[in-house]
Amino acid sequence: MIIHLLLGSNLGNRIENLQKARQLITEQAGRLVAVSSEYETEPWGFSSNNMFLNQAIAVETDLLPDKVLTVTESIEKQAGRKEKTCLHTYKDRIIDIDLLLADNIVLNTDKLTVPHPFMHDRLFVMQPLCEIAPDVLHPVFKKTIRQLLEDLLKSINQ
């Protein structure tokens, strides 16, 4: 299975934080098959003086999405993240790892929704994801990542 993740960091040495997350993901979840450029972005959903570095990655894994979530939450803790976002209250963070896509799987549980339910509305997600997966089909919207990014850019520019 190919999973797509978004990495984000706005505390400490952001580049090293992304590197460490990629290394731990490779050790614990699977083989990196694609890595986007790093995108510097404004914080989304909260105010902060600290800019984010975001990066999308694709990983080949044998893990099911719920196990990927367990692994990524553990990696966040290993990397020094103290607490997970709760009730959409966002804060500065050393590392954030979001599961965006897992092949064509559509999943909605109390702990996990795949595809990520807000990815198509967030430029900081769609730009790096489109760099590494432009032709991947979103299993709910039945549009490619490129088409979803184009739709998002049109809505932003209206």
Q: Considering the candidates 93, 103, 121, 122, report the single residue annotated as catalytic.
A: 93
81 is catalytic: yes
Cβ atoms of 28 and 75 closer than 8 Å? yes
Pick from 18, 10, 16, 11: nearest CA to 44: 10
98 is catalytic: yes
Q: Considering the candidates 14, 22, 98, 122, report the single residue annotated as catalytic.
A: 98
Q: Considering the candidates 31, 81, 103, 135, report the single residue annotated as catalytic.
A: 81
Phi (first) and psi of residue 114, to 5 degrees: -130, 130
Sequence-separated (6 or more) residues with CB below 8 Å from residue 89: 46
In the DSSP assignment, the letter for residue 140 is: T
Pick from 95, 94, 99: nearest CA to 61: 99
End-to-end CA separation in angstroms for the chain: 37
22 is catalytic: no
Q: Considering the candidates 96, 103, 135, 151, report the single residue annotated as catalytic.
A: 96
Cβ atoms of 10 and 41 closer than 8 Å? no
Active site (catalytic) residues: 81, 93, 96, 98
